[in-house]
Amino acid sequence: MKKVGIIGGSGFIGSYNTQKFLNEGYNVKVSTTDISKKEKYEHLLSLKNAEHLQIVQLDVENKTALIDFLHGCEIVIHGGTPFQLDVKNPQTELFDPTIKGTENFLEAIQQTAGIEKIVFIASVAAYNTNFPMLPGNKTEDEQFNENDVPFMSEQSHPYGQAKFIANQTVNKFIADNANLGFEITSVSPVGVMGKSLSSRQDSTSTGIQFLFKNKIAPNPFFQMFYDNDIYFALVDVKDVAEAIYKAATTQNIHGKNYLLSSESYRVSDITSMLNNQIPTGNPKVFYSSDLAKKDLDISFKPAAVPLNSYSS
């Protein structure tokens, strides 16, 4: 049995990654930031094939600990960067763990034998730091794909900026190291929706769905979504996990970063679907997932599927 290491494997997306690889017959090593906080990962222990699951504590800013975590893994999924919208100190809460953590990880994988594939869970912010707003050079009637020039603004939310810089760091590493001996692939999902595998209350993705469902605006940033009834691009968390698995097990896709998106709906229609009502408007497809569909042989469920499952 091959071993996969999943950094951040107990989070919203990470839990589905852990489930997928366990179902596919892998030994799975999952990191957690604090092993004493069992509520963060105990839901994984009831998954099918959990006897092949190992959970270890890891600080992604500790390079020695990273090297120890990577030992014995043929595949590594890096999804351990924080997804936070409300931050008091962007440097310590977002930029350091996201960018320095990525830099440490890239150094660590060069010192680890036996790795065959790395998959980074990036973000649509790697292409557009303004998400969920449109990039400055596009209209809602256009499509954006991997060949478009990425849009970065220092006025964007710090999370988007951190993910953009981390992705640029990965791209530079790939360009500077032509003979790695393993492949690096990234995936960049839009707004990830669906039902959490855990009962944790700290998931930003779950929190966003709760806010939309109940029309709650915790800050002016969210209020602007309602005031302008913006289009918000969505993707099912199960489809994201499937794409990550395919990226990890598909050869000859080194250096690619796949946009993962289904449909974009106005926020008012997202609220309706989260309350199991029929949307009044029609969806758009702003972020093209054609490359992922082609290379990874994956299809994306309509946005209503994960939104309806959130309340089920």
Q: Please write the tens of the pLDDT for every residue from 73-104.
A: 999 999 866 555 565 665 666 666 677 888 88
Q: What is the largest CA-CA distance in the chain?
A: 54
Peptide bond into 132 cis (omega under 30): yes
Q: Regarding predicted confidence, which is higher, 86 or 272? A: 272
Torsions phi, psi of 287, nearest 5? -95, 115
Percent of the chain with pLDDT strictly greater than 70 = 93
Rounded mean pLDDT, 32-38: 92
pLDDT of residue 182: 96
Task: Look up residue 38 and give its amino acid.
Answer: K
Give me the pLDDT at residue 167, please: 92
Question: What is the average pLDDT across 156-176?
Answer: 88
* CB-based contacts of 169, cutoff 8 Å, min separation 6: 99, 102, 103, 106
Lowest mean pLDDT across 92-96, 227-231, 299-303: 92-96
So what's the pLDDT on residue 27? 98
DSSP code for 145: -
Tell me, what amino acid is at 175?
A
The pLDDT of residue 25: 98
CATH architecture label of 3-193+237-261+286-295: 3-Layer(aba) Sandwich (3.40)
Q: Stretch 54-64: mean pLDDT, rounded?
A: 90
Is 271 in contact with 201 (CB distance < 8 Å)?
no
Predicted local distance difference test score (pLDDT) of residue 176? 95
Q: Where are the domains of the chain?
A: 3-193+237-261+286-295
HEC string of 163-213? HHHHHHHHHHHHHHCCCCCCEEEEEEECEEECCCCCCCCCCHHHHHHHHHH
> Is this prediction's pTM over 0.85?
yes
Helix and strand numbers, DSSP H then E, in the chain: 11, 10
**How far is residue 248 from each of residues 10, 111, 292, 296, measured CA to CA in Å?**
18, 20, 13, 10
